[in-house]
Amino acid sequence: MREIVIISGKGGAGKTTIAGAFAHLAENAILCDLDVDAPDLHLLLDPDKREESEFWSGHEAVIRAEDCVHCATCLNMCQFDAIEFSIEGYSVKPFRCEGCKVCVELCPAGAIDFPERKCGHWFVSDTRFGTMVHAQLFPGEENSGRLVTLLKQQARQRAEAGGLDLVLSDGTPGIGCPVIASLAGTDLAVVVTEPTPSGIHDLERVAELCEGFRTKVAVLVNKWDINPAMTEKIEAYCRDKGYTLLCRFPHNRAAVDSMLERKVLTEYDPGGLGTLLKQAWKDTLALLEK
């Protein structure tokens, strides 16, 4: 089984627009939205939820005020500034608590509970392009890496069970924990970038991360005509590094219009954009064979 993930180093580069089109073109694939903080792929694919599960991960500290003896041990030991002292006594700020259990273990009065934390939901859905695995993390939760890993496992299992040979994922922005989880075990990363100073900067950082995972890198330059000179620079960088350049994608309102119509570009090919992506997808698949 093969895995392709579409990433961008930063959000808003057009990752989901590309992922949506590729989802349409992919045959025999399980689709997966790994951007669990701010998933968007469902806006294009209009999934019908078939299964819904809660995602529990980690714990959080909760002080029982009536048992607290005001010794301040927790306040002093918490490395994450999650313990607050006010006129109402000691309490835990849930957003800051990392669930490390230090206060729980060290509280001399045993006044701190450590319940499991419900962090969000994940789903298996039907879409017009096949089965999709996706999730929504509650705001402020930080276990997105674990949720990404869970989604990937689910996608793989379902692909195997269904005799499908590809997992196609809309990845996560950034270069931190969730992307690291997205890249683990992935064969090919399609990096969507823009010809802007941040675009090239982010591309370099995320490509370096891919190399660390021995994930093959292919690059798609979105809105290339906004700054042709910068596009040249990005392409030179790719040649230099041996990354395949999949496509120069123009700046075009149709990308937004298709979003408004809840369609992907390959479904109706406005201004030839869909045709461009069809070629890009062919080239992407060819890369898997290499």
Partner 1 sequence: MIFAIASGKGGTGKTTVSASLATLWENDVTAVDLDVEEPNLHLFLNPEITGTEKGYVTVPEADEERCVKCGACRDICQFKAITLMAGTLLVFPEMCHGCGGCMAVCPEKALIPGRRELGEIVRGRSGNMEFLMGRLRIGEAMAPPLMRQVKERMGFIATGDVIIDAPPGVSCPAMNAVMDADAVVLVTEPTPFGFHDFKLAWEAFSPLGIPMGAVINRAGLGDSTVQNFCKEKGIPIWAEIPYDRAIAEAYSQGRVIADAVPGLRDTFLKLKEHMVAAAEENDMLGVFRA
- Shortest Cβ distance from residue 155 to ligand SF4 (Å)? 29
Residue carrying structure tokens 């808003």: 12
Using rule CB under 8 A, residue 171 touches partner 1:
no
Residue window 41-60: x/- pattern of binding to partner 1, with contact defined by CB under 8 A: --x--------------xx-
Binding mask 128-167 for partner 1 (x = CB under 8 A): ---------x-xxxx-xx----------------------
Helix (H, G, I), strand (E, B) or coil at 86: strand
Three state DSSP letters for 87-156? CCEEEECCCCCCCCCHHHHHCCCCCEECCEEEEEEEEEEEECCEEEEEEEECCCCCCHHHHHHHHHHHHH
Size of site (CB under 6 A) for ligand SF4 = 27
CA torsion angle 267 271 274 280 (round to 10): 180
Q: List beta partners, residue 102.
A: none
Q: How many residues bind partner 1 (CB under 8 A)?
A: 59
Q: Which is nearer to partner 1, 230 or 285 (CB)?
A: 230
| Distance from C-alpha of 41 to C-alpha of 281, rounded to nearest angstrom | 18
Applying CB under 6 A, which of residues 30, 74, 147, 150 lies at the interface with ligand SF4? 74
- Phi first, then psi: give them for residue 96, nearest 5 degrees: -95, -20
Q: Rule CB under 8 A: which residues touch partner 1? A: 9-13, 16, 37-38, 40, 43, 58-59, 77, 79-81, 95, 98-102, 105-106, 137, 139-142, 144-145, 173-177, 180, 194-199, 201-202, 205, 208-209, 212, 223, 226-227, 230, 251, 253, 256, 259-260, 262
